[in-house]
Chains A and B, each alone.
Chain A
Amino acid sequence: MISTGNDIVSLNAINITRTNNSKFYSKILSTPESKLYNEPLAATIPFENFVWLLWSIKESAFKYLQRITPDLLFTPVKFEVTQLQTPSEYKLINFGIGELTGTGFNDESAFKAVILFGSDTLYARSFIYNELICTVVHKSENFGETYWGIKYINDGQYDNQSKKVREFLIQNLQRLASFDNIIIDKNQHGIPVIILGTKEMLIPASLSHHEHFIAYSFQYKRS
């Protein structure tokens, strides 16, 4: 089954003091994962961003697998990040108030990670800006058919986030083909599904939002 999983964390919303408390981060990171925060990485991002980067990777992996196993529950420490690679040309910059979309990832700007969950191995690509961390997870290192988008929205109320992320996804799906009458719904397990007319499309999509940021990912094979 094809799937996709994404997550976005608004760094303005996190509690830095709390995140740096071991009582907090030990609910997210295992001891071996804490060791991934090595000297080169520490020179690149602060520890709180590392914690939320791993959260974002784990939540994206969970969302990827939840589409396949809907009863799956999310316990962050059960998703093991075994490798984390900082992009070669990483520079912390502002995301700003615009939007960014893409297909696949440029390895010079995205963090790369490998996640293990039971017998599953998944791969993540993440962006870190001053204001946000955004991750997409896939089952292989080939993200060539993975479409993603990140956008700033003015109104950060929950209901508006939810509405705007659906509009953002539809707008970018319609750039690929003439998909009229598309709606984004959720199935009985709360997983997003794309409905064209009355039929569910075989395009797995993942949505995320946090305060003023929204993001999507989907898998699509061009014919």
Chain B
Amino acid sequence: MTRHEILDELKKVIAPYTTNKEMLAGIDDQTDLIRDLKINSANLVDIIIDAEAKYDIEIDYDVADKMMIVGSCIDVISEKVNEKQ
């Protein structure tokens, strides 16, 4: 999967947790889930769990702290998807 493909899917994972749909449409590597998309921190675990289900991967707790910035989310997902192949 390319980074672009992961980003497109990631938008769908994030969508239920943000009301800022305009910002979501234009997210990039620098977008901060909490500060920019105004996602409540209590939903970060939901996003990790949903991403795990979407890509059939397991995201270790020790990389969970990287799931705050869109670019880092893509890095983590990309790495896990590649490990699986």
Contact = CB atoms under 8 A, between A and B. Distances in A.
Given A24-B49, A27-B48, A27-B61, A73 B42 contact: no
B30 interface: no
A9 B61 contact: no
B64 A75 contact: yes
B46 interface: yes
Interface residues of A, number: 24
Contact of B61 (A14, A26, A158, A210): A26
B62 A14 contact: no
Contacts, number: 49
Contacts of B49: 18, 23-24, 27
A161 to B, nearest CB: 9
Given A24-B45, A24-B49, A210 B40 contact: yes
* B contact residues, range: 10 to 19
A75 B48 contact: no
A78 B66 CA distance: 13
Contacts of B48: 27
B38 interface: yes
Contact of A73 (B38, B41, B68): B68
A157 B19 CA distance: 9
22 contacts: A9-B42, A13-B42, A15-B46, A18-B46, A23-B49, A23-B52, A26-B61, A27-B45, A27-B48, A27-B64, A28-B45, A59-B41, A73-B66, A74-B65, A75-B62, A75-B65, A76-B61, A78-B62, A158-B38, A190-B34, A210-B40, A210-B42
Top 4 A-B pairs, shortest CB-CB distance: A73-B65, A75-B65, A77-B61, A158-B38
Given A15-B46, A77-B61, 12 more contacts: A13-B42, A18-B49, A27-B48, A27-B49, A28-B45, A73-B68, A74-B41, A74-B65, A75-B61, A75-B64, A78-B62, A158-B38
